[in-house]
Amino acid sequence: MCGIAGSLILNNSDEVDINVSNKIKNSLKKRGPDGDNTWISKDKKVSLIHTRLSIFDTSQNGQQPMSDSENKYMIVFNGSIFNYKELKFIKKKKSYKFKSNTDTEVILNLYKEKGIEFTKYLKGMYAIVIYDLIKKEIIITRDEIGIKPLYICWQNNTFYFSSLIKSLILNNIKLKINQNSIINFYLYGHISEPNTIYEDIFALEPGSTLRVNSNGLKKIYQNDLFNKNSIYKSNSKNESLEYLNYQISKNINIQNRSDVKSGVFLSSGIDSSKILIHSKSYLDAININFEEYKNTKFDESLLPKKLTKITGHHLLSKWYTKNECLNIYEEYFENMDQPTMDGFNTFLASKFASENNFKVVLSGLGGDEIFFGYNFYSYIAYIEKINKYLNKLKINFLFNNTYKIFKDNSKISKFFYVLSNSKNLRDIYFNFRKINYENAITKLNNKFYIDGYENPNTNLDENNNSNLNNIKILEISNYIKNQLLKDSDWTSMSNGVELRVPLLNKKIINFALFDPHISELKKENIIQFNKNISKLLYKRKKTGFTTPLNKWYKTTRIQNTDFVLKKYLKINNLAIE
């Protein structure tokens, strides 16, 4: 796990500026506190920058940028490949000689053998950049779920890339704030990929592989996430449940791999509990709480104590006070890569983990989204049925402004807003996911022209998938990717901690989506425990892992969103034109 950046200059006049490269390297230091290196080509047209968080093979042999044995390729890589030992074993049988015990070297040799389709053999989270010294071209790729970030920019016949936007803009790039992205943030609390806060900077599409050379930039391979034809063919519900739980435990087990101190973020939830139960006993459980929540329904301390007594894992707990949180809130903003309304809880948990010398943590992120952990799935499906009926009668217009009668974001207001502004399931989903309405944003600042704004695009196979499955696909492609994963990366990595998400695995996701026996079952009917643990976990009412920020600031949703944006802009010396 690391920070990576670099450039490929394709004009005759410019060369890599070593001073700029050093600034970029320093800006990535928190992501990789264990070492840093820069490689610049002899013609000074290519730079590869790497800051290292040592996870596998902590020796000097694991340093990047790394070359192959023939000095034909150079690689910088951010992430972890969990099946690297199995891949390395195969390569050794073919007489490959390795100089390290890293996953980086395995990737490089796999690319040499398999070419552009090498990513389909990788099980992990990654952003990879390989420079071909012979062809003078870059191959750049990202995992199919979008767990690890990678931002790219093409200006002045030069290609730039980085793990962080804040690092990328240290190059001599012309910057203009993306108006659509600002509106997107006000509506959803995040900026939806591939867009970023800047017009000419984009997130690399998950699963895509690009070739960059003197002919420009071209997509050469796509490793898609969703594939219903790839799943195991089960004959019964019991077989499906057994298979899925086996895959979950198998993936948790392989993601326990590390050469450094590792732990599990443990809340009172089903997902983190499942991960702890299937983790090695030497992994510690990490639990944070807030003084304001003590002895309330949001108290996350009681169940982890009981569970770790059963499993035998050591439990580390932290109670955050209001003053501690508000002081750390400033640090959170300073590290924020793009404006977001989420992630402070993960920042606090990661900070506590880092203070206790953890470099790897496992998280239950994604479990609620792929296993129907929330009631809103059935709620959206219910609205879709009503919407179809109203469309058929052509009377939707009757409810056009009804939502304005009620308090913003109340359940009844949201119901009428979604109903009156949606033509199909996709519209219903995005309108439901909005944290603010258009009229609230316009009142806030009449510079924002909402009329031309379009919801993020997501392809749906509405004829062949059920409504519930399509909602899951929308949730994985949007909320998980654009909010949860993006925020989990920068909040953990800015504290020098690698956050792993074992439930977000391609095989698990596709089976949960497309297996006919379980695709519409709720989580409590899918995730299996023994009787004692089931009784312990399922009797607690679901609350979600939140911070008391709203309680402390006592502001409306739109005021809070506006505060976060203005704070981000001020810290980064930006202004909306």
Predicted confidence (pLDDT) per residue in 300-332, tens digit = 898 999 999 999 999 999 999 999 999 999 999
Q: How far apart are the first and last CA of the chain?
A: 37
Taking CA atoms, 366 is separated from 147, 223, 540, in Å, by: 11, 20, 20
- The CA distance from 310 to 266, in Å, is 14
Q: Give me the DSSP letters along 459-481.
A: ---TTTS-HHHHHHHHIIIIIII
446: tokens are 């009449």
What is the structure's pLDDT at 447? 53
Q: Is 334 helix (H, G, I), strand (E, B) or coil?
A: helix
Predicted confidence (pLDDT) per residue in 400-440, tens digit = 778 888 877 688 888 888 888 888 899 999 999 999 988 88
Q: Is 49 helix (H, G, I), strand (E, B) or coil?
A: strand
Q: Which residue has the tokens 């258009």?
A: 438
353: tokens are 């983990």
What is the structure's pLDDT at 448? 53
DSSP 8-state class, residue 485: I
Nearest to 500 by CA among 125, 244, 163: 125
Per DSSP bridges, beta strands 66-67 and 284-290 are: unpaired
Count CB-CB contacts under 10 A for residue 259: 16
Phi/psi of residue 318, nearest 5 degrees: -140, 130
What is the structure's pLDDT at 93? 64
Helical residues (DSSP H) of 200-343, grouped into ranges:
237-254, 270-277, 302-311, 322-335
Q: Which pTM does this prediction carry?
A: 0.94
Within the chain, which residues score under 70 in pLDDT? 93, 95, 409, 444-455, 457-465, 577
What is the structure's pLDDT at 405? 84
DSSP 8-state class, residue 408: T
